[in-house]
Amino acid sequence: MFGVSGSDASIFAELEPSLSVNEQNLADRVRYILRSNIFGDAELERLRREAVPSSKGNATMLETRSMPLENRPRLPRIPFSKRNRAVVRALNPMLVTYLGASRELCETDSILFGAALAVCSIIGAKLPMAERATQQSSAIPAWRKRIEDRTTKARALIGRLTSVRSDNNRPRVVRTIRMAFARTNISLSEPDIKQKLTERIDDLKQKIAAWGKRIRRFSERSRWFNQNRLFQSDQKRLYKSLERPEVCGASPGPDQADTIAFWRGLWSLGWELPQTRANTAPSRVYPPYIKH
DNA sequence: CTATTTGCGTTCGCCAGCGG
DNA sequence: CCGCTGGCGAACGCAAATAG
């Protein structure tokens, strides 16, 4: 989909002679960007369209315009340097082609934005994390998927390691390991193997627990964040959502109705929340102590 | 308390191998 | 031949843990 050819690399080299870029580098970058989902699907689609000016320009342009602005990544502040200035200057002439064909303000805006993004990616400026998080607030973040995958694998491994279905009354895995060592000089007594297996299993279990904890902390935190956001924008909707019995598996707890009544009462009196961590939106969606 | 070490995740480049 | 991919490891960043 984002194929990389030799000519791509030579264009790059022309644009930024200080960087040694070959097809391999570019292919790696593309792969990395796609794999780690650095741009969302919508963004990728938009970049695709801008990179390949299609003959059916009208239809695609309409689509671009219909894309909600909030789906765009926020552009980072780019530090001034000779190199960065050179990159911008190199891209300027290209704009002429695109802007000349632009018939609408939205289109012009979109083209400029694409160019800014291109500058960012060329100079390696990172797009802020917070934006990506809001963009995919409904989707499961990539890091969480990774953790869940790992958990599944680890559980499967534990299952295999603890499997006692065997012949000779001996766990199959232990037997396999014994056979493997039988061919070598290394002698490993059975208690050793058992010890190692036990350690390994304990290790895996601890890891699973830690991963689970991490996911729970993140879920809790993002639930806070969403509620806080709703609280600030639309309290009615917040109360409604709290009344709903199940929201994303977060069970409301036994005294939920009391809590809601309590909040309503306070609010109807014109009471204002003190600014605490619990009722202010965090500066970043991912709290700094949660890795992702 | 500050300084450093450690652990973990991310980013990135290189390589070998695969398939059109 | 060419582009793409999986695997691997080095370098780096960040924050928690630990030492002094």
- Our measurement of the distance from residue A45's CA atom to the centroid of its chain's CA atoms, rounded to an integer in Å, reads 17
- Does residue A89 have a pLDDT over 70? yes
Query: Are residues A101 and A202 located together in one domain of the fold?
Result: no
Residues A168 and A114 in one domain: no
Does A190 lie in the same domain as A255?
yes
A33: nearest nucleotide, CA–C1' criterion: B11
A272 part of a folded domain? yes
Range of the domain at A253: 142-279
Please report the pLDDT score of residue A68 as a whole number. Answer: 55
CA of A221 to C1' of C13 (A): 23
**Are A83 and A184 in a shared domain?**
no
Q: Are residues A128 and A154 in the same domain?
A: no
Q: Is residue A163 part of a domain?
A: yes
Residue A22 domain-assigned (yes or no): no
A75 within a domain of the structure (yes/no): yes
- A267 assigned to some structural domain: yes
Give the residue from A134, A161, A186 where a domain finishes: A134
Q: Are residues A209 and A125 in the same domain?
A: no
* Domain closes at, from A134, A166, A189: A134
Q: Quick one: CA dihedral A104, A43, A73, A84, positive or negative? A: negative
Contact present, A164 and A157 (Cβ < 8 Å) = no
A129 CA → B8 C1’, Å: 19
Percent of chain A residues topping a pLDDT of 90 = 0
**Statement: residue A30 has pLDDT above 70:** yes
Q: Which residue has the higher pLDDT, A125 or A58?
A: A125
In this predicted structure, the answer to whether residue A264 has a pLDDT above a threshold of 70 is no
Measured over the CA atoms of residue A5, residue A8, residue A9 and residue A11, the dihedral's sign is: positive
Which residue gives the smallest C-alpha to C1' distance to C2?
A5
Determine the pLDDT at residue A218. 67
Segment A222-232, tens digit of pLDDT = 666 666 666 66
Domain boundary among A110, A134, A158: A134
User: Which strand B nucleotides have any atom less than 7 A from protein CB atoms?
Assistant: 8-15
Per-residue pLDDT band at A284 (split at 50, 70, 90): very low
Over 60: is that where the pLDDT of A146 sits? yes
Q: Is the CB of A288 under 7 A from strand C?
A: yes
C-alpha distances in angstroms, A277 versus A112, A128, A226, A271, A272?
Answer: 38, 22, 14, 18, 15
Number of domains in chain A: 2
